[in-house]
Structure formats: C-alpha cells, structure tokens
A = this chain, B = another copy of it.
Amino acid sequence: MSEMQLRDALDSLKGTGVRITPQRHAILEFLVGSMSHPTADDIYKALEGKFPNMSVATVYNNLRVFREVGLVKELTYGDSSSRFDFVTTDHYHAICQECGKIVDFHYPGLDEVEHLASHVTGFRVNNHRMEVYGVCQDCGTKKEAH
C-alpha cells in the first residue's frame, strides 16, 4: 500500500524532470512510512545509518523540491522547526500543546470557507490549512494522576 504511494511519488518526480537519487528515494520512503510528521533533523538522523555522509542541506533541499512538486506539505508549528507531511488524502491536524504530538483527522468540505473568504477578501483562493490545538489523551491522563 505504501509501496504504491512511494512508486507514484517517484513517477511523479520523474514526470517533472526531477532526478531520482538514492538520497531522494530514501527521504521519500521515510516520509511515506512515517506517521509522525518528522522534522528535517528527524529525517537527517533517521538516515544517518544508510547515508553516513549525507549533508543536512540535502535534506532541506529535497524537502523543498518535494514541496514545490506538491508531494509534501510543510507544517510550521509555533516556535520550533517545521514538520513535513507526505501528502495523501486531505486531512487536518490535531496538535498536542503538551507533548507536540500530531494526530490526523478527517473533516468534510471546508470548501465553503474558501468561497466565503474569496468573496470577502477578493483573493483567488488556492487552498487552506486548519489545525486544532489541545491536549492529547496521554498528557490528559498524566495530569490527573497525582
């Protein structure tokens, strides 16, 4: 299943004339297999074993390439580093304010918001982003216990 996602992603890259390097392959593979919305540094560290000589710049460069092609979304969360999310189906994020965990959830049709925004602001609207902030179950129960 994620095999196919990876293959599609690679095809999509080829289609836009982006070369497939071992590093790109590995970064994409990691992103597809990862449920944890990793930071650039997470990816760098995760691939240290396979590519002892890989530069951080390579990770950043390729994440930018993937983002430009539309394979990956960049999530900027408050103070710390950006997190990267392999684009599959449309979904939103719930972010825990205690531990930083990010959990996906689906919600139908916020297209209406885009239309209204477009009407009110005069923008040609391309897309939107939404996040819900709160405290996850783990952190919630951790606090109750005293």
Contact = CB atoms under 8 A, between A and B. Distances in A.
Interface of A: 74, 76-78, 92, 94, 96-97, 103, 105-107, 110, 113-114, 116-118, 120-137, 140
B123 A135 contact: yes
A125 B78 CA distance: 17
B117 A126 contact: no
Residue picked from A76, A132, A135, most chain B C-beta under 10 Å = A132
Contact of A134 (B103, B116, B123): B123
Given A78-B74, A107-B116, A116-B105, A129 B127 contact: no
Contacts of A134: 118, 123-127
Given A92-B113, A110-B113, 14 more contacts: A92-B117, A94-B121, A94-B123, A103-B123, A105-B116, A113-B130, A118-B132, A121-B132, A121-B136, A123-B135, A124-B134, A127-B134, A129-B131, A130-B130
